[in-house]
Amino acid sequence: MSEISIFYADDDEDDLMFFNDAVESVSSNSNLLVQLHIHKNGENLVTNIKENKPENGVVFLDLNMPKKSGFEILEEIRKEPAIKHFPVVIYSTSSDKSDIELSLNLGANFYAIKPYNFNDLMKMIQSVIKINWNNHKVDIENFLLIK
């Protein structure tokens, strides 16, 4: 069985539970073991990724969090040599074009607008964890996951 680590930073308890339930559902319905690492803010996220050193993993970042925004955490990840190539999905309620463009310019791999439907969230997570990141090229045409 293959394994993937998902590192998720969000300060909203409901969003954390919703995402956790979707990950559990995806994991139980696939031949993939999904390890979810939840952070209520981005303070320890970068350290946690460096300590775990997963061979296969992805980060989901909310934009609006206390202490550090998702943009700041994304910049931190991209500046850290050991993890700068780690895939990052900005996962936000914002559909503001400037947030999407800034995420792309700062080096995010995808931008996903938080779905309100559980099945849509599961589909989005499934599509992200199936990506071969070694072959994935980021461009504006495929950057927005959920519209």
At 90, give phi and psi (nearest 5°).
Answer: -80, 125
Q: What is the mean pLDDT of the segment spanning 15-41?
A: 92
Query: What confidence tens digit (pLDDT) does each residue in 63-110 have?
Result: 999 889 999 999 999 999 999 999 999 999 999 999 999 999 999 999
pLDDT at 147 over 60: no
CA distance 138 to 44: 26
CA distance 36 to 38: 6
Residue 55: partners with Cβ closer than 8 Å, 6 or more residues away: none
Mean pLDDT, the chain, whole residue set: 89
The residue ranking higher by pLDDT, 128 or 139, is 128
| Residue 72 burial (C-beta neighbours within 10 Å; 0-12, 13-18, 19+) | middle
What's the pTM value of the predicted model, to 2 decimals? 0.92
pLDDT of residue 2: 84
The residue ranking higher by pLDDT, 29 or 147, is 29
3-state secondary structure at position 85: coil
One-letter amino acid of 78 = R
Counted domains in the chain: 1
CATH number of the domain residue 9 falls in: 3.40.50.2300
pLDDT of residue 144: 64
pLDDT of residue 1: 62
pLDDT of residue 146: 63
Question: How sure is the predictor about 145, in pLDDT bands with cuts at 50, 70 and 90?
Answer: low
Per the structure block, which two tokens stand in for 14? 């409901």
CA distance 12 to 20: 12
Per the structure block, which two tokens stand in for 33? 């073991």
Residue 126: partners with Cβ closer than 8 Å, 6 or more residues away: 26, 30
Q: Which domain holds residue 99?
A: 2-146
pLDDT at 140 over 90: no
Query: What confidence tens digit (pLDDT) does each residue in 93-104 have?
Result: 999 999 999 999
